[in-house]
């Protein structure tokens, strides 16, 4: 029985889970959901009611980074898990302070008491630090950190792409552009119809 993988195409958390499943080649039954109309089967499966959610015969994995690690522990042909401790620290910074600042920049109307310009500055400080680190190791050989972080950098970049492109972050911008133009990104961004109970299985990857 294949694992069931609940996903939403544009969600950066689901993107990074799909990236790990794609590179691992671990086959799942993909169920594309719409977040404003979550199906009962998904709500019954996901403790947090958020994507991604991977249901295997033995467990439910409800956090995107855990889905990535699970897939790579099954098969890691590019050695994504073989990364320095700094990689884990970058993921922690991305998932914590950077994502918080990103949300308060992109979705400013949800945070009326917050200053979006201040949060853009906070996010920018993280990206400037990341720009300085890409050449030494992130860009040298792809690791889990690259693909755990890239979907969120993409999300931030497209808040105002002209502004992002005008920043003095050449390594970061090249890293993101290589990702956006890659066959891997095209594969994980393929469109699927909304899943409904009774639909034929959609396999991924």
107-142 tens-digit pLDDT: 999 999 999 999 999 999 999 999 998 865 555 678
Measured distance CA(204)–CA(160) in Å, rounded? 32
Q: What is the CATH number of the domain that holds 122?
A: 1.20.1050.10
Asked whether the predicted pLDDT for residue 2 surpasses 60, the reply is: yes
Residue 10: band (very low, low, confident or very high) from pLDDT cuts 50, 70, 90 = very high
Q: Are residues 120 and 192 in the same domain?
A: no
Q: How many residues does the chain have?
A: 205
Collect all residues with Cβ–Cβ distance below 8 Å to 163 and sequence separation of at least 6: none
Kind and range of the H or E element at 199?
none
Q: Are residues 91 and 166 in the same domain?
A: yes
Cis peptide before 124 (omega within 30 of 0): no
Domain that holds residue 112: 85-183
Secondary structure of residue 53 in the 3-state scheme? strand
Q: Are residues 178 and 106 in the same domain?
A: yes
- Report the mean per-residue pLDDT for the chain: 94
Global pTM value: 0.95
Contact between residue 101 and residue 122 where contact means Cβ atoms under 8 Å apart: yes
Q: Are residues 129 and 144 in the same domain?
A: yes
pLDDT tens digits, 148-197: 999 999 999 999 999 999 999 999 999 999 999 999 999 999 999 999 99
Q: Are residues 49 and 115 in the same domain?
A: no
Q: Are residues 179 and 89 in the same domain?
A: yes
């Amino acid at each position: 029985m294949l694992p069931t993988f609940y996903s939403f195409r544009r969600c950066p958390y689901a993107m990074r889970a799909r990236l790990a499943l794609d590179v691992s080649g671990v086959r799942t039954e993909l169920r594309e959901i719409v977040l404003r109309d979550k199906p009962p089967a998904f709500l019954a499966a996901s403790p947090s009611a958020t994507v991604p959610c991977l249901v295997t015969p033995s467990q439910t994995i409800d956090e995107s980074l855990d889905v990535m690690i699970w897939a790579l522990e099954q098969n890691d042909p590019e050695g994504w898990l073989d990364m320095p401790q700094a990689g884990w620290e970058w993921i922690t910074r991305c998932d914590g302070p950077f994502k918080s600042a990103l949300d308060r920049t992109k979705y400013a109307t949800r945070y009326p008491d917050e200053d979006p310009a201040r949060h853009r500055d906070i996010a920018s400080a993280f990206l400037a630090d990341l720009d300085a680190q890409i050449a030494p190791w992130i860009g040298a050989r792809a690791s889990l950190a690259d693909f755990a972080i890239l979907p969120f950098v993409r999300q931030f970049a497209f808040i105002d792409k002209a502004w992002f492109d005008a920043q003095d972050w050449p390594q970061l911008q090249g890293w993101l552009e290589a990702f956006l133009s890659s066959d891997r990104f095209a594969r994980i961004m393929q469109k699927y119809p909304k899943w409904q109970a009774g639909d034929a299985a959609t396999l991924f990857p």
